[in-house]
Amino acid sequence: RIIYRRLPTSTSTAWILVIAALPILGLFFYIFFGDQKLSRRRARLGRKVNAFYQEMFDIADRDEDLKRIEPDSLYAKIAPLISQDTGFYPSRGNRIEHLTDVSDISRAMLNDIEQAERSCHMEFFIIRPYGLIADILNAVLDAAARGVDCRILADDIGSSDFFKSDWIQTLRDGGVKVERSLKTGFIRSLSERADLRNHRKLMVIDQDVAYTGSFNLIDPSYQGADADTRNWVDVILRLEGNIVLSLACVFNKDYLLDSQNAADEFVSLQDLPLDERDSTQTDAMLQLIPSGPEMQHSLIYEVLLAAFFNAKQSIYIVTPYFVPDEALILAVTNAARRGLDVTLILPSSIDSHLARYAGQSEFGKLLRSGVNITLFREGMLHTKAVIIDGELGFIGTVNMDQRSFYLNLEVTLAIADNEFLNAFSTVIKDYLEQSDRLDKERWAQRSPGTRLLENLCRLVGPML
């Protein structure tokens, strides 16, 4: 079965080794975590919804902005690759800003929710209803009381505490529709992989304002917050303009696929506006990249590889989890050997020892090729961002690991806007100032035991 599925060679080899070493346990893990993807029903309905959007809103035909892209730019090479798979073409007439402080993020969200008139839709991997997040949920309740259509979609595992809390009944009693995304259970795991997760983080209000980025609905300053989330460092984007329609489409599709009343909800898709919006204060060129196992290709992975190989000056990668495969390592080291400034910004410690050591197993090769590796020391750096040549950025929910590339539902925003990228460069600079650069000679002196542990974890890296 593993051989006939024609998975990447490294993934197939990893599963064969696990099953050979632990036949019974390995087979159990493969059945529940290695074989199935999304259910056929979900995949079929997903294709139906995609076709609906492309027909109703002509998303697949909105290619006018492609003609406005500088033909020799990096983005000109990348944009068609994105639109072929998603139907989301580049969009002008947008305003974009980044927020990094939790208080600023919650204040902005509260203000937008309080002004909502028609709809307030939220989709998050983790919701923990304490502190500032409780204030946001109360604002959603108030909006529902005003007649606003309020819906919350949260990952079944990532938001397990939320679904066990009294908030669920309170929200539903207040008119807020709440759904579990990618529900889990023994019977369900026979038709769907149990570890497929909805890792998206987005909010859409009145289809006028949207948020997306690495920020989960967690207040790290709350006294009851877990130690592993108390020091998270995140970025979220606040968006206005035409790009909001793309995010609304992603939410509606995900909500429909996870809704208990999918057939009844299908009519709600027609609530989306048909017309392009007027340009807002700025004219940012943006393009949405949803990715996940329901898509034919590993789109965000292919986009990043194409961007790395076509980069001419610099590549900055910020990610909490770095477990690359051979192709990604080749793309990054090739850029460094071509003389580009390639910098990898990682947290000095993460909550997964397996992912940490699997990623570290590749540090030597990266350092020898000229890649700069810096370790952020002021908390758990949770931002996911890639900036190339200072002219093209990717910010969203995707980590640099196989889980984000192949298994999770993710969303990333491609940004071709010099004004925003210049402003965001200060965030990168701040991260670098709070990081320690890894020394190549010192790294080569780590103990044999550490090297052995790294190489063992590397064998299962394709499964992470």
Catalytic entry in 219, 234, 389, 417 = 389
Beta pairing class for 314-318 and 341-347: parallel
Helix (H, G, I), strand (E, B) or coil at 314: strand
Based on the residue annotation, tell me whether 161 is a catalytic residue of this protein. no
Structure tokens at 453: 């542990």
Catalytic entry in 85, 384, 401, 417 = 384
Based on the residue annotation, tell me whether 389 is a catalytic residue of this protein. yes
Contacts of 327 (CB under 8 A, 6+ apart): 305
Catalytic entry in 254, 382, 401, 417 = 382
Catalytic entry in 206, 254, 258, 325 = 206
Task: Kindly tell me the burial class for residue 102, based on how many C-beta atoms sit within 10 Å of its own C-beta (0-12, 13-18, 19 or more).
Answer: buried
Rounded to whole angstroms, what are the CA distances from 344 to 203, 234, 382, 398, 440? 29, 16, 14, 15, 14
Q: How far is CA 9 from the centre of its chain?
A: 25
Catalytic entry in 98, 201, 254, 325 = 201
Catalytic entry in 199, 254, 258, 325 = 199
* Residue 143 CA neighbour count, 13 Å, CB half: 29
Structure tokens at 175: 């008119």
Task: Kindly tell me the burial class for residue 328, based on how many C-beta atoms sit within 10 Å of its own C-beta (0-12, 13-18, 19 or more).
Answer: buried
Based on the residue annotation, tell me whether 382 is a catalytic residue of this protein. yes
Side chain identity at residue 219, one-letter code: D
In the chain, the N- to C-terminal Cα span, in Å, equals: 20
* Residue 53 CA neighbour count, 13 Å, CB half: 23
Based on the residue annotation, tell me whether 271 is a catalytic residue of this protein. no
- The closest alpha carbon to 157, from 195, 186, 121, belongs to 195
User: Strand pairing partners for 179?
Assistant: 153
Based on the residue annotation, tell me whether 98 is a catalytic residue of this protein. no
**Cβ pair 137, 129 in contact under 8 A:** yes
Alpha helices (runs of H) in 311-352, residue ranges in sequence order: 326-337
Based on the residue annotation, tell me whether 35 is a catalytic residue of this protein. no
Catalytic residue IDs: 199, 201, 206, 382, 384, 389
